[in-house]
Structure formats: C-alpha cells, structure tokens
Amino acid sequence: MTGVAPEPGVVPGRVRNRADHAAGDPADQAAVEDRVAVDPVEQAAVGDHTTGDPADKAAVGSAEVLPESVDAALSTALAQAVEATGAYGGVIYLRSPDRRTLVLTKVAGLSVSLVDPFGRLPVGGALPAAEAYRTGRIVFLADADETMRRYPQLALGMPYAFSSATAALRGRGESYGAIALLWPAAPGGELSGARRRRLRAACVRLGIALADLAAHGVPVEYDGTPTAAPLWAPVLSPIRVGLFDWDIDTGAFQADPEMCRLFGIEPEAFDGRAATLAARVVTGGGREFREAARRAVETGRVLAWRLHIETPGGVTRLLEVWGRVPAHGPPTHLVGVVLDLGFGAAAAEAVERLHDGVFSLDPEGRIMYANRNLQGMVDARLEDVVGRTPWEALPWLADPAYEDHYRAAMLSQQPGAFLARTPHDRWLAFSLYPDPYGLTGKVVPVGPPPGAQDRPAGREPPAPGGVRVGPGPADRETESAPEPKHEPEPEPVYAAPARPGAIYHILQMAGALTEAVTVDEVCQVVAEQLLSAFGGQELAVYVVRDGKFFLARQTGYREGFLDRFEGVSNEENLPGVEALTHGAPIFFESVADLLSAYPDIPVDDMCSWAFLPLIASDRPVGSCIVGFDRRHVFTSEERSVLTALSGLIAQALERARLYDAEFALARGLQHALLPHRLPRLSYLEVAARYLPGTQGMEIGGDWYDVIDNGETVSLVIGDVEGHNVAAAATMGQLRSAVRAFAAAGTSPDQVVRSTNQQLADLDPGLFASCCYLELDPHAGVVRAVRAGHVPPVLREPDGTVRPLDIPGGTILGVDRDCEYPVTEVPLAPGAVVALYTDGLVENPGTDIEDGIARLRRSLSSAPHESVSDLADRIVRDAGRISERADDVAVLLARWTGDSGDSGDSGDSGDSGDSRDFGGTGEAGESGEAGETGDAPTRGEGGSRDGRAGNQA
C-alpha cells in the first residue's frame, strides 16, 4: 500500500482517497483478456520477494503460516483489484497442500466472520470459486436471485443482495487459487468490460507472482485461517502532533516546528517564550498557561488540557495538551505533546449532544464507539462493550436474527433496520448505515410493535430466539412458596443460539445430501463436505450390519490401515463402536488423550479425532470418523455442528441403504427377465444392447427378444413406462406373453392384440409400447406390427437408411379391443433392421426426428461393420448424452439371404450378441463403446451383467 508521504509532524488518520488512486489506472489501459504485462510497481510489491526471504524459508513446511512475501503479494493485489474495479470488498482463496480444498486466505472490505462459513471449499464443489478454479472462467452473479438459481449452496450461507465476480489465479500454466470481488446488487446486470479486464489483469499479475514465488521454493499453498487485507480508506482530517519542552520557572519554551505551526507561528520566528504562545490563546491566555503550570507542578502531569487558539489569519483551532514532569528532572520541568484534533473532537461532541444513541462498528463488527445516550439505553458502559460485537456484549442481542441484519447491511452495502427489546421491556429501533470500512448505527426508543403489549411481561425471553436458562420473574410467580421480600432479582441468563456459520454448515450438508441417492454417493458427499468444512485429512464411514461394522468409504488413510477393523463386533472396546453404542460423539484433541482412553488402539499419523455416531430414528446406522493431522481444538460450536451433521448423515445413509436394497432387487429382477442369450441362426446375424438411463432408479421396462419359430423368426422390442420394480415386473410379464403367443404360431397382428388384451386384464396401472417383426427367410419378407412404438429403421445393402413407414395401433393396455395392422416389407440380402426404444432418439429440448436422423447417420457411417460393432457404435453415440431420462434398448438384425434350410438352429452352441451395460463403463468385450460415457452415473464400479454369449 503506497501513498503520499505526510509532511513532518503529521500522523495520517487514514490513507488517501480511493478515487485518487483509481485515476489513470494502468490496468485498464494496458490489460488484455489473457496476456497482461506485469506492472513495474506491482512487480516491486510482489516480485522482489522471490529471492528467498528468511521469513519465507522459516514458513516452509507449515501450511498454516503464510510466508511474508506471499502475504504481501496477496494483500497488495487484493487491495488494488478492489480499488481498480470499484468493488467494496473481495476475498482470495489459495489451494490447500493436498489440492482438494480451496482455503480462504485474504479478506478485504468485509468482516472475516461474514465469509467464514465459506472458509474451506471442496475443489469439486458447486460454488463460484471452485468452478472458476477448475475452468479458468470468470463467474459473475448479478444479484441474490441469480445466486439462488445457479449456486443454491452459496445462497444458503449468504442470502443477501450483492453481485460478485470470481476468477482463477493462474500463472505459468498452473492454478493457485481464486479471487472474488463484490459490488452492490445489480439485478439483470452484467460484468462491464472495464471491470472484467481489470479483474483479469489483477489475476494474471498475481498468478505470475505466485508462480515465481513457487519457483523459488516459497510455499504458495495454505491451510490456515484467513486474515484481513487493508483497503485504502477515504481521507479524514489528519491528526497533527507537536512536541514541546517547557521550563516553568524561567518560562523558556522549546517547541518543534510542527507545534509552532499549530500556534500559527513560523518556526524560525518563534522566540522561545511561553508568553508568546499564551498570546495566541483566545480565552484565558496567560492565566490558562499559569494554571496548567501550577497543576503540573502539583500532580506531575497535564491531562487533556484544551486550548482554543487563533492564528494570524483569524482561524480558530482547538488544541489538546498532554504533558508530564520527567522522573529524573526538576519538578518545574514539563515535556509533552500538543494535538490538533481537527474535526474529530468537534464531531464526537456533536454526536454526544444528540438525544439518539449512536455507535460505530469496525469492519469486524466490533464496537469502537458509543455515545452516552446509547450507553443509558442499553444499560451498559462503553468500557464493557468496546472491542466486542453487539451480540457478544449484549446477551439480549445474541439471537442470530440480529446479527443477520448486520451481515445483510455489510454484504449488500445498503442501510438496514430492526427492532429489539431490552431486558427492561424497552423497545429500541436500530438503524444501520454501512460502508466498506465499518458501520454506523443509530438507536432510538420506540413504542412496542402491534401485539407486543398483549403478551404478559416476563412470560417470554426479552429477545426472540434467546433461551432463558436462569430463574426470572415469571418463574417466581408460579412457585407455591412465598419469596422473601426485598430479595434482589438475579440477572437473567441467555443461552446463545447457534451462529450463522454453524447454521450454514448444517444447511449446506442437508442440501448436498438431498442430491445423494446411493450409499456411495452419500459417503462421497460426507467426505467432501466434512473434510473441507473442518480441515480434516482422514474420514471413514462405517455401517452396521448384523451387529458388525463394515467400511463403506474411507479417504486419506494409508493402504491397509483400516483392514484390522473390518467386521468388528459392536461389543469391541473401540471409540467408533462406543460412540454408536452410547449414542454420543467422542472427541480427542491429542494422541495422548486417545491412548489414555484406549491404550491398545492402533494410531496412524493423525493428531486429533472426532468419532460421530450415526443414528436414524433410534436405529444404529454406523459411525463416522474424522481425523486431523494437526492438533485440533474442538470448540463447543464445532461439537454441536458435528453432532447435528451426524444426524443428517445417518438419515441420508438409512435412506440410501433402502434405495440400494430396492435397486439391487430391481436390477436382479431386470437381469433375470432380459434374455441371457440370443438364438444362433445361419441366415440372421443379431446383436442387442441395453443402456440404463442416468436418472432415477437406473432400471426400467425396456426389453427385447429374438424368438426362433422354426419357419420364421420374431424380433420384438418394447418399453413399459416407468423406472421402478413395477415397470420391470410388467416388462417380464409382457416378454413372456409375447414369447408364448409367438411360439404358438400366431400371426403377428394376433400376437400383439393378445398381448394388449393380457396387459389390460392384468391392469398393472402401466402402459407399454411394442414393435413386433416376423421375418420369413424363404420369402425375404418382414411382416411388422407397431403398437405406439417408434418406427424401425432399415439399412439397405447399398448403405441407404430409411425409417419404415408402418401404420400402428395404440399403445398396449389402453384399448382392449384395439386392432393392429400388419405391414409387409421386402428385405434384400445384407439388409439391416434396427429396432430401438425411444430413449435412443428422445432427448430433452430436441425433436424426436433429430434423434432418428442421428440414428440413421450412425447406421450409414459404417456399412461393412458387423451388427455387433454397429450396435456398439449406436450405444456409444447414446452414451455421450450425460443426462438420459430414459433407458436405451437396441436390437439389430442382418439377413444374409439364406433361407435357413441348411443351417443350424436352436439355442445350443454359440449365440447372438446380447449385452447389458447397466453399472459398467463398457459396451462390449473390448470396451470401445463405453469409453465416451455410456455408463450410468450411479452404480459405477460394478461388473458387467447380462452378458449373453459371443458375437455370432
């Protein structure tokens, strides 16, 4: 931070005006989007430290201590970025040593407590700083509505009206962290080009500086607590100081040049006499000087002696004199200082004359000043509250709602107001006026709000949310024994509610867990949220089955360390076990504490632990263990938050276990109902593929089948609505019905009609679509029937691809008496028929015709591929769609032109190629079709199921 050097004797109250510094900003003139020359001034501020500062070397090895050169670079860059962009505040995040977390490092223009809930962010989290760090893009949020829409977790913790822009700190091709700047809300606004350029310029310069520091061995990762970066504040009247040495006996008066100027005398013209200075005093003159001298001789000092002096130009100035008699000097010798209070004293006196209460808070929310009237209103002395926040100093303001008004005013930079009631049943109206350097408040007595007077006095806490834990007047009224007269009333005691930061952690975890469905997903959320929020390095989640503990997920433990605990009984003497059996968390802040309670327990490299019981609806679910590699003191708030979070985790795990059980049942049912192998036919090459959707239960009612009827072969595909066990069960019933009707030699239209009637009779409350093809190899003809299903696609031997125009009936289960027409389609040898479900061609926001066109391109792109490779290609293309609401089933058949008279037929030997890709990232034995994302988002890591034979 630089500024104009003050003239001798001047102590600047605040540094120069922000607007003066921003004039002619070189960043706005020289910066471009991605290539920015390093400003020489800033290079001097941040680059000269790369030569190996001893303090930096001392910091190596401790990520909790920020090296001085890094601290200076961050503070300078953040202050300059805030000023250059006109922001009112900003923060800087640095990556942690393990690079899994972004750690809040520097805060400017804001109270650290305001952003403390976001002190640690998982790198993969859905928050602006994490996204900017990962992608390198600037993330701009115009107001609270946009924040809620795009980043609901951020809005949970900071539901206030402000706009922000967040950018990555990158240098020499590497990301080191992120910077975020804040402005008042601008609904519907955009980040201006000038601000964008200046923000990017600041990021590039700081990123390069961090890269250079890292290249010289200075650690640029951080894992400590955030610190404030000072901002350039508006200029106030400076405090001028003069020094003097006064010999009271002789009247000789030695004054430094600044004191001479304060009395309106040029230093070279001062004659060294006290009388000369006394002549400048407006009232009292020499008498006041003599009175001050007498008091100094009697008491040995002069305290706050105020003088009004008049300069030769007629200007009246208020001075304050402080002096003392030196300990080893004559008693008539006085040394001291003269202060020019400027406008400060006059302002303070003006405020003291007001009938309203007035107070001032610093950027951290601490009380720096309160006038006498306010002290009377709140019944507190200034010395008892100064340096403390209002909600700490005054218990009746401890409710988070009051602190939230302060947070809203500071983050929105807009005035705010609220009502509060004192313990003496007095209502006060608070008005808040913020700026980036603090907050001024005004307090006036008011009448009670409507309805307040109807509540009996003493029947409720004086402030909303406070909890009375000591006896009060209301308690005495209900006691049967009379109270002794004249006994003084005890002061009521209030239990402080949870701070907003604690509430945020609970809300954030709750929000993240609502999106987790499986046990693995719940454990992943827990690992990301807990370790990032509390700075832990290890986490293990155990679940209980049949009285034994089994590891569900672990992060950070060395390989094999937890093997010895697998399957331990719930009667073992272990902290994780006893936390669950006793239903209470256990905290150890040192290795000695742990070994004192459990002498035989194996210990790794951690220093502190939290063992949390996971209990849902009085049912033991498991235990969660969090380890810290440095000594961690668990505050009462942390213990409360971790205990609350353990309840949320337990509920989510219990829900996920039920989901997993239902999912396993449904998947097993679906695997059992789909064909395990397809028939091998000399005249027909067939291949089938199944791909679950990426949403919901990951199971559905899509099915396919190939039925060898001897003289003909039937190809069938269908889709039952829904994605649950009922859909899978209905699918099995329909597949069995179609197979039975087809095996009986029934005509295609009658097969579909009978299946429709059976579904209507079963009345499962579900409908289904179906496409049924009967191939006659002797005639080279396909007889097709369609019941509300997407049309099949035909690829001719020359590569021409077209959808088949097949008139159809309604979907199955709607009209029991519906008729289904038959359409004959001639086939040429080598032609390929593609049957598929609508999940292949329907995507949100696109027309189904576009999906069919995409399928046609896939079929025509490789005319010489086998049907198995062609099926893999189709599934691979579908797998590129990250959000598929529906399942995908594909059945391909190529007629070779043979009549089938001389070839083998039946289910023995090699079979057609049928593959189910639910729970795997593979689409074939080679895995080619799965490499672009055909695996569902849930159930990763499972083995391939439903593999039905080799390629025909």
Each residue's pLDDT tens digit, 194-243 = 999 999 999 999 999 999 999 999 999 998 889 988 887 665 566 788 89
Q: Tell me how far apart the alpha carbons of residues 153 and 160 are, in angstroms, rounded to a whole number.
A: 13
3-state DSSP call for residue 85? helix
Q: What is the mean predicted confidence (pLDDT) over 623-651? A: 88
| CB burial of residue 257 (10 Å; 0-12, 13-18, 19+) | middle
Contact assessment for residue 18 and residue 234, using Cβ atoms and an 8 Å cutoff: yes
The verdict on pTM exceeding 0.75 is: no
pLDDT of residue 35: 37
Position 252 confidence tier, pLDDT thresholds 50, 70, 90: confident
Query: Structure tokens of 187?
Result: 């609904």
Q: What is the mean predicted confidence (pLDDT) over 339-361? A: 82
Q: Tell me how far apart the alpha carbons of residues 408 and 402 are, in angstroms, rounded to a whole number.
A: 10
- pLDDT score of 463 more than 80: no
Q: Tell me how far apart the alpha carbons of residues 748 and 104 are, in angstroms, rounded to a whole number.
A: 69
- pLDDT score of 478 more than 60: no
Cβ–Cβ contacts within 10 Å for residue 842, how many? 18
pLDDT of residue 917: 52
pLDDT of residue 893: 93
Q: What is the mean predicted confidence (pLDDT) over 123-152? A: 90
- pLDDT score of 516 more than 70: yes
Q: Tell me how far apart the alpha carbons of residues 371 and 521 are, in angstroms, rounded to a whole number.
A: 55
Q: What is the mean predicted confidence (pLDDT) over 461-465? A: 36
Contact assessment for residue 393 and residue 375, using Cβ atoms and an 8 Å cutoff: no
Position 568 confidence tier, pLDDT thresholds 50, 70, 90: very high
Stronger pLDDT, 324 or 783, i.e. the higher one: 783
Q: What is the mean predicted confidence (pLDDT) over 409-416? A: 91
Contact assessment for residue 585 and residue 646, using Cβ atoms and an 8 Å cutoff: yes
- Give 284's DSSP letter: S
Query: Structure tokens of 796?
Result: 């001719």
